[in-house]
């Protein structure tokens, strides 16, 4: 089984509520009818507007949604891309390997319902002077525990990009998905798992920044708060 991640830019003139409705109704229904193995949709919607200060758009235009599809083989992705292309101006597809250091066991909801809290999606670019294998080692074998120890995440997914599946796809090196409690959207002490403890907040924030500076180009990453909708798992 292979996982594919599609990054979506909505059609110009389509409102955010209309785009959300398209994805959660027609698009998801059509994709499920293709007999895929799993499906999740993450959308920059009204539920995460309080997290607007957390957004970072350094390169490429703001992303409106991502769709993750698991299927027997990515060679059969044509019908999936046909469905997606009907509601967007642009999309980029990636074959990824998924690592899930924290499985969401805390906030399970019925299919198609929003997962509570914020689903922060981060598009990673490694430092130019860093060897790719060393980047992977620092990210997955070293930084993973730092992220777990310093943040209030209840879900943590690392998507290592194997290769782009569409032409002109941005050359990111990874896509991270992190589930945070709702309060983390507006309270940094909750975000960094240090509610009521200013010393712990500063320490956790410093540890996180120190760790990511080892392997990421922070001037090229995109950080987008989204809402996660899991349709099939």
What would the mean pLDDT of 16-26 be, rounded to a whole number? 97
Q: Is the pLDDT of residue 46 over 90?
A: yes
The helix (H) or strand (E) run that includes residue 57 is strand 56-57
pLDDT digits (tens, 9 = 90+) for 166-189: 999 999 999 999 999 999 999 999
Instruction: Find out whether 186 and 225 touch, Cβ atoms under 8 Å.
Output: no
* Residue 112 buriedness (CB in 10 A; 0-12 / 13-18 / 19+): middle
pLDDT of residue 61: 78
What would the mean pLDDT of 120-141 be, rounded to a whole number? 96
Phi, psi of 95, deg, nearest 5: -90, 130
pLDDT of residue 33: 96
pLDDT of residue 163: 96
What would the mean pLDDT of 115-130 be, rounded to a whole number? 97
Q: Which candidate, 42, 59, 49, places its Cα nearest to that of 218?
A: 59
Lookup: tokens for 110: 């019925």
Confidence label for 35 from pLDDT (cuts 50, 70 and 90): confident
What would the mean pLDDT of 78-101 be, rounded to a whole number? 97
What would the mean pLDDT of 52-69 be, rounded to a whole number? 92
Q: Is the pLDDT of residue 10 over 90?
A: yes
pLDDT of residue 116: 97
What would the mean pLDDT of 24-45 be, rounded to a whole number? 96
Q: Is the pLDDT of residue 14 over 90?
A: yes
The tally of CA atoms less than 13 A away on the side-chain side of residue 100 is 7
- DSSP states along 129-161: TS-HHHHHIIIIIIIHHHHHHHS--SEEEEEEE
Quote the mean pLDDT of the chain: 96
Q: How far apart are CA 66 and CA 198, in angstroms?
A: 35
Instruction: Find out whether 157 and 100 touch, Cβ atoms under 8 Å.
Output: yes
pLDDT of residue 58: 86
Instruction: Find out whether 68 and 117 touch, Cβ atoms under 8 Å.
Output: no
What would the mean pLDDT of 101-120 be, rounded to a whole number? 96
pTM: 0.95
Q: Is the pLDDT of residue 59 over 90?
A: no
Q: How far apart are CA 16 and CA 2, in angstroms?
A: 30
CA angle at residue 165 from 25 to 83, to 5 degrees? 25
- Choice between 41 and 60, residue whose per-residue pLDDT is larger: 41
The tally of CA atoms less than 13 A away on the side-chain side of residue 230 is 14
- DSSP states along 220-232: S-EEEEEEEEEEE
pLDDT of residue 129: 95
Q: Is the pLDDT of residue 62 over 90?
A: no
Q: How far apart are CA 55 and CA 219, in angstroms?
A: 13
pLDDT of residue 131: 96
Burial of 186-195, coded b for 16+ CB within 10 Å and e otherwise, reads eeebbbbbbb
Q: Is the pLDDT of residue 50 over 90?
A: yes
Q: So what's the architecture of 2-232 in CATH? A: 2-Layer Sandwich (3.30)
Confidence label for 124 from pLDDT (cuts 50, 70 and 90): very high
């Amino acid at each position: 089984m292979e996982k594919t991640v599609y990054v979506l830019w909505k059609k110009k003139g389509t409102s955010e509520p209309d785009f959300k409705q398209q994805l959660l109704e027609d698009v998801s229904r059509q994709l499920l009818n293709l007999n895929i193995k799993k499906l999740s949709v993450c959308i920059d919607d009204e539920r995460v507007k309080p997290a607007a200060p957390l957004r970072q758009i350094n390169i490429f235009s703001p992303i409106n949604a991502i769709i993750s599809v698991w299927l027997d083989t990515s060679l059969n992705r044509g019908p999936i891309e046909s469905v997606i292309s009907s509601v967007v101006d642009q999309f980029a597809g990636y074959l990824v390997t998924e690592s899930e250091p924290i499985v969401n066991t805390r906030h399970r909801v019925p299919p198609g319902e929003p997962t509570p809290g914020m689903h922060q999606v981060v598009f990673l670019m490694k430092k130019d002077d860093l060897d790719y294998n060393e980047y992977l080692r620092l990210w997955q074998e070293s930084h993973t525990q730092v992220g777990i120890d310093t943040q209030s995440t209840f879900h943590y997914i690392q998507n290592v990009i194997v290769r782009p599946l569409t032409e002109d796809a941005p050359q990111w090196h990874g896509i991270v998905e992190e589930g945070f409690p709702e309060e983390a959207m507006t309270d940094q002490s909750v975000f960094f798992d240090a509610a009521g403890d200013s010393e712990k907040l500063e320490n956790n924030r410093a540890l996180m920044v120190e760790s990511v500076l080892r392997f990421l180009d922070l001037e090229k990453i995109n950080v987008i708060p989204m809402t996660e909708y899991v349709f099939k798992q």
